[in-house]
Structure formats: structure tokens, C-alpha cells
Structure 1
Amino acid sequence: MVNTIHNNEFLREQLDLLKRRQTDEGVEWQDITDFRSNNLGDSEHRDTIRKGSKLLYEYLDAGWINEPIKDNSSSTIDFGSPSDKISIQKERIKAQTERLETNKWIRELSRDELVTQHIVEAINNITPLEIPEFNGMQISNRVGVLCFGDEHFGAEFELYGLHGEVINSYNPEIFIRRMWDLQHQVINIINKENLDEIRIFSMGDFSDGILRVSQLLKLRYGIVEGTVLYAEFICNWLNELSKYVNIKFQMVKGNHTELRLIGQPKGTFTNENMDLVVRAMIKARLVDNPNFELIENPTGMIYDEIFGFNFLGIHGEVKSMERAIKDFSHTYNTKISYLIAGHLHHSKSETIGVNCEVINVPSVIGVDDYSLSLNKTSNAGATMLIIEEDRGKTIEYSIKLN
């Protein structure tokens, strides 16, 4: 009888959880999975529970499951008067809620510890950087602004044209080759324009991430490993470039690097973004470099003021750049002179007014299967602007990467 009553109580609580799951967003499938595991000792995937509950919900919605659970003697378990039953139900829900919250905290802490552990293990194997000497600073009326992004590091693919020709190839080795080619071209511009200082804007989506299961087929690395490998490369890349020019570096959050945890949709965990790992590694690795400065903005966007002109950098998930520059100016009560974005994987500049412009920068990855499906293609590349005192943007270099 004890086992029967215990089993009835388990079934009753499980049914309560399933009913609450229909109306309470705080109850997740993982909570029901954990409840079953704690009571039955079985290890099940939450998708198994979710799929198995579909038929039960059909009966619940049809009003078929309204009878109280009975024991083996076919006599209904009597919990007393209606008020007693309500009190018991309230206590049961309180206990369930407490267990659900505890399990959520355990899951979150375990996930964070696992990610942290992987990052620490990867960082421990990194060779220290050779920090360059101080370049010195000259007062100048010209500054360069280098904009690049959408590297989608870790992706691997080859795209073919109508005649079997390769339209674009991409993998981590090609990424590295393009980035050193970019640095070579930037150094030539620095020398040509006689620049002492440049601002570097990283426009987001440094990693391909995992927004869809189909992406697993074209990724060489996992999210954590790929992030650490990219961070180590960009630290070396920035350190090397700082031998030629003084750098102020900023980066925005991308949509591909956002962690969509527990199967949640875009925007649920906006602060859970792997760019935090890259930022932390850049800060730690280049802390002693006298020619480098990392600037972090609390909004997660890029903001810079150069010779009185205000620059705002976003990843670019907006419907209209022209509308966005006006909205941002009103929102932050600051006149935005130049709004710069990536995301679209192609370059475009448009004048909105006097010393007011919107600029889309190309991608390091170039055309991929998604942009090809939309018939939108462009060269892999980056953009470098020359900003002059009292004049704003005077030159725009379109840098192509092979």
C-alpha cells in the first residue's frame, strides 16, 4: 500500500506539473524531466517528455482526465473536505515551485561552471604575447577608422557557380589568410595617410555560432573552443598591428554569438554572448601593451567621438539604417554623425544630411549559402575611413580580401 500511495502521489504531482506547463512559462520541460529522474531514477531527455506529453494534453484539453487517482483497491483516496483539498493542493504547488527553482539554479550553475572550465583550460595553453615598445603619439588632425566583422570563424564550405567554378571558399585557414592580408593593406594605408592612431570597430559575429542545427554540419569547432581560438588569434593580430600604429579597439555583440540556451528564441538571453569571452581575453592579453586601448560601452554598442563627430556602431539588425540613425539620436539625446553596421555582408554608404551618414561594411566571410539563396552576393572585405578635423569623413577605402 505504501508503494501504491507513493506512486499515486508521484503521478498526481507529475500531472500537476504538466497542467501548470500549459499556462505557467516558469515551468519548463527540463523541470518535469528532473522531477521524473528524481523519483524514478531514469535518465531521459526533455524532448522525450515533451513529445510523450502531446497525447496526454489532447485528453486534458478534451476534459477526459478529471477523475482523482485511485489506488489498487479501486477506492478513491480521500483528502477530506474541499477546503482541505485546496490547502493540500496549495502546499503541493509551493513544494513543486521550490524544487523547480532549485533545479533551475543547479542547471544554470552547472552550465556556467562547464563553460568556464573549458575556457580556463584553453587559455592555460596559450603562449604569452611579445609586447611591442611604445610608438609615441603625435598630435594629428587625421585619424583612421577600420571597420570589419562577420568573420563567422569556424564555418567551412565551398560555393559553386553555374559553370562549376568556386564562387567562395571558407574555412579557418582562409579566415587567417584574409585577416593577415587585411592587416597588410591597412599598414599600407597607415603609411600612405601618415596616421599615428586608428580606431578599430569590430562589427560582430566573429563566430558562426549555432543558431540552427543545420550549422553543425559546417562548423569545425564547438562554440567555446572556436571562441577561444578566435580570441587568441585576434589578440595576436591586434598586438602585431600595434607595432605600426596606436589602436583604440571596440566591438559590438553579434546575433550569431548570442547563446540561445535551453532552446529559447533569439533575444531571451541578450547578455549571454560569447563576445564577453573575447573581450575578457583581449583585456587580459594586451593589458601591458602601451599602444593599445580596449574601450567598452555599457550599451554593448560602439560609441566614439572623433574631432567632434559622433560615431555609433551596431551589428546591424535594423530594418532601416536611415531610420535607425534618427532613432538612436533621439533615444540617447546625442547627434549621431555616422552610424556604422555589419550583418548584411555587403558595403553601402549613404548620406543622410550634412556630416551625417550611414555605412554598412562588408564581411570577412564573403558570400555564403544563405546570402546566395537570397541572390545577394558581395566580396569579402573591410572598410577603412579617414576622418579629418572640421571635415569629418573625407576618404573611404573599400578593402577587398581574396
Structure 2
Amino acid sequence: MDDIEKNEFLREQLDLLKRKRTDENLEWQDVADFRSEFNGDLEHRDTVRKGSKLLYEYIDAGWVNEPVETENNSDNSELIKMRKEKIKLSDARVEYNRLIRQEARKESYVDMVKRIICENVEPMNIPVHYTLFNSSTDLLVHLTDIHTGIEIHNWKNDFNADILRQRIEKFTSDILDIRGQHDSENCYLVIGEILSGIIHNNLRLQNNMDLMEQFKYVSELISAMLSRMANHFSHIYVYTTPGNHSRISPKKEEALDGENMDVLLPFYLKARMQNVENITICDNTVEPEIAMFNIRGNNVFAAHGHKDSPSNVVQNFTMMFNIKPNIVLLGHRHTNGLTTVYDTKVIESGCCSGSDNYAVSIRKVNKPEQTVSVIGENGLICLYDIQLN
């Protein structure tokens, strides 16, 4: 690299570092890739990040200035054009490297799925005895904000892995009691946010399982729940709505679409329940985060709720999909609720874990709870407010 090329490289690098302070889309890995490409040696992003601290101090002090051009105005004009083109090329190179990193991460994520799901999950061989029958109602069951892995001990609530198992067993018993009261034919089970996750430091301190332990434990609890319910319904349809707790990256801005432990659950359940004929694990074919299905002529949309509000979700979904929902399921807010918006029933379900230390600190406490809805041809017949304690 001659002196001219080196000067241009240093100038471009300075531009990139200045932009890094204001451009949220630029990552330290982009700067490291830029240096590695020109120097020929791989550099770690943390090395670049730590070195930039001193440079920024010099920039703020006014000690780092742009090189003064000595050519005439026409030459300066040409140089400016050349520099603009170089910046465009630099931007394209940064974006290209980012796409390569994202694809590599997606491939490693897929490899992890295959390893966990395909190699380590054995089909359930528990005998299931069910009878096909007809009735006028189905059940819509919401199991959301399970938060497996967190351990809570405060004046309002106690929660750990054993208590979660007890609560899901009680919830299953309540579901079967409701099925018996209404002689309901089929069950539509919507599951969301199965893990406590690692998205906040306070959750990391309270979690006593890592992500994979959390995932395997709750997946087995749900598998046992399904195998028990399968004896009492003509058919069970299972849907998943990914939540914000289950992403594999603590930082929201670094998380890629699909990098969420909730999306592994259908793969696990398909492998685990493949021998049970009256259970179907369904995919979200239109929008990965939104379950869309029909119960006795009623359009049902379900989402976790961290991107939606009960007051505008009906309007948003109707405009997005050009289909007006009759029922919308949401979680995330940790309380059971029912709102009517333009004749659409917006049903909110609570959480299985109950009030954690953060909820107590902000004075928002409530019992662990979920909902079960009885659905007929005319829509919602009744809504059960299920307390899990």
C-alpha cells in the first residue's frame, strides 16, 4: 500500500469512526471488517472499540482535523466527487459484510435446531385413547408468559420449576373440567413466551436454568399436558406466538428475526407428539409471530402482545391482512382481560410465573392466571378466568 492509498484508507476509516457515533446501523464489527479488508489481518471488534475511545477524545478536543487540500478548486471538486464515490462503496461494503454475518448466524442457529430437535427428542409412546364426537363448541386455550427458569421468592409469590409443573397440571385439570361442562369437541391451544430468558440483567440473576435447560424442561411439561388432554378431545391444534423474553440475544438491536427459542417449540412438539394422531402442531404460515386460524367460522388472530396494544390491535390486524378478526389473543401484560373493539373480542391472558421482583418494585402485582374461552358458531360464548395458585 503506497502513501496515497494509505492516506485514503485512513481518511475512510476516520469517516467510518465518526459515523459510528451517530449511525445506529453501524456496528463495531463493520469497522473491524473494514480494517481487516485493507490490512490483510483479522482484527477483533473489541480491539477497535477500545482503541476508538482515545481517538474520540482527540476528535472532541479538536486535535483531529480533515487534511487540508492544496489543489485548485477544480481539482478539489474532482477529489470531492471521488471521496463521495468511495463513501458509497464503503457503505455498500459494510452492508455486504453485515449480510454475510447474519447469514452465518442463521446457519449456526439452524444447525443448533437440528442438533437439539432431530438428535435428542424421542417420540412419546404413551397410549392415547380418544373418541371422535360432534358438539356445538370448541375450547380456545391460552398458555402464555410461562417464564420457565426464573425463581421468585417474595411476599406476593413463590415460583420455581416444581411450582411451574404444579400450575400447568392444575391448568390442565381446569381445562378438562371446562371441556366436560360444555362437552367441547376440539381444543385450540396457543402457547407464547415459554422462557424467562436473558433479556435483562435482573432476569439473569433470578434465573436458575440456562436457555437450553429452560427450553427442554418446559417442552416436556407441555408434551405431558398435551398427551393428557388428547384423551378427551376429538382433535387438538397447537399454535406458537414468539415472545420477547425468548430471544437468544440479550440486546434487542442485535437479535435477528427467527432467533427466538419459542420458534423451536413446534419442532420439538412435532418430534415428541408424532405418534399421537389427534394432535396437530401448526405453523404460522403468513406472519411468523402471528397465529391465524378459524374456529367454527370465527377468525382468530393471536400474538404475544409486546408489539401490540389492545386498543389498536384489531385495526392494525385488519389493515395488515385485509381480514377482520372476530377474536384476538394477546399476552405480555400479565393480567387476564377482555375488551371489545369494533365487535371483536380482544382477550388478554396473564402469566404462569406470577409477580417477579421487578413487578413488585414498580407496584404492579397480580396472581398467576390464564384464560380458557368457549367458542361457538356465534363467537365467544364465555370466558374462564383461571387462577393457577
Cα pair distance change 1:233/1:45, threshold 3 Å: farther
Contact 2:137–2:184 under 8 Å retained in 1:
yes
1:282 aligns with 2:277: no
1:108 aligns with 2:112: no
Aligned to 2:280: 293
Cα displacement string for residues 79-119 of structure 1 (whole angstroms, at most 9, x for unaligned residues): xx657856875786577557645643453344334434444
Cα displacement string for residues 187-229 of structure 1 (whole angstroms, at most 9, x for unaligned residues): 2332333233111122x22112222233221223333453344
Root-mean-square deviation (CA), in Å? 3.8
Contact 1:134–1:291 under 8 Å retained in 2:
no
Cα pair distance change 1:116/1:384, threshold 3 Å: same
Cα displacement string for residues 323-358 of structure 1 (whole angstroms, at most 9, x for unaligned residues): 43344345444343322211111112244576x432
1:143 aligns with 2:108: no
In structure 1, which of residues 197, 216, 219 is the aligned counterpart of residue 207 of structure 2?
219
1:252 aligns with 2:251: no
Q: Please list every run of 5 or more consecutive structure 2 residues that lacks an aligned counterpart in the other structure.
A: none
Partner secondary structure for residue 18 of structure 1: helix
- Return the TM-score normalized by structure 1: 0.78
Aligned to 1:177: 166
Equivalent-residue separation in structure 1 for 2:326 and 2:226 (angstroms) = 27
Cα displacement string for residues 232-290 of structure 1 (whole angstroms, at most 9, x for unaligned residues): 442343233213222111121212223557x4539x74443332211222234334431
Structure 1 counterpart of 2:101, one-letter code: R
In structure 2, which of residues 293, 317, 327 is the aligned counterpart of residue 338 of structure 1?
327
Equivalent-residue separation in structure 1 for 2:309 and 2:94 (angstroms) = 42
Give aligned-pair identity as a percent: 32
Q: Please list every run of 5 or more consecutive structure 1 residues that lacks an aligned counterpart in the other structure.
A: 70-75, 162-166
Structure 2 counterpart of 1:125, one-letter code: N
Structure 2 counterpart of 1:386, one-letter code: V
1:357 aligns with 2:345: yes
1:186 aligns with 2:180: no
When structure 1 is superposed on structure 2, of 3-12 and 59-68 the one drifting more is 3-12
Structure 1 counterpart of 2:144, one-letter code: G
Aligned to 2:14: 15
Aligned to 1:27: 26
In structure 2, which of residues 254, 260, 268 is the aligned counterpart of residue 273 of structure 1?
260
Partner secondary structure for residue 26 of structure 2: coil
When structure 1 is superposed on structure 2, of 27-36 and 206-215 the one drifting more is 27-36
Cα displacement string for residues 285-319 of structure 1 (whole angstroms, at most 9, x for unaligned residues): 33443111223331232333323333222222367
1:310 aligns with 2:299: yes
Contact 2:370–2:386 under 8 Å retained in 1:
yes
Partner secondary structure for residue 359 of structure 2: helix
Contact 2:314–2:341 under 8 Å retained in 1:
no
Equivalent-residue separation in structure 2 for 1:33 and 1:93 (angstroms) = 16
Contact 1:364–1:381 under 8 Å retained in 2:
yes
Aligned to 1:396: 383
Structure 2 counterpart of 1:291, one-letter code: N
Contact 1:342–1:362 under 8 Å retained in 2:
yes
1:328 aligns with 2:323: no
1:199 aligns with 2:195: no
* Count of aligned pairs: 382
Partner secondary structure for residue 277 of structure 1: helix
Partner secondary structure for residue 265 of structure 1: helix
Equivalent-residue separation in structure 1 for 2:263 and 2:140 (angstroms) = 23
Aligned to 2:357: 369
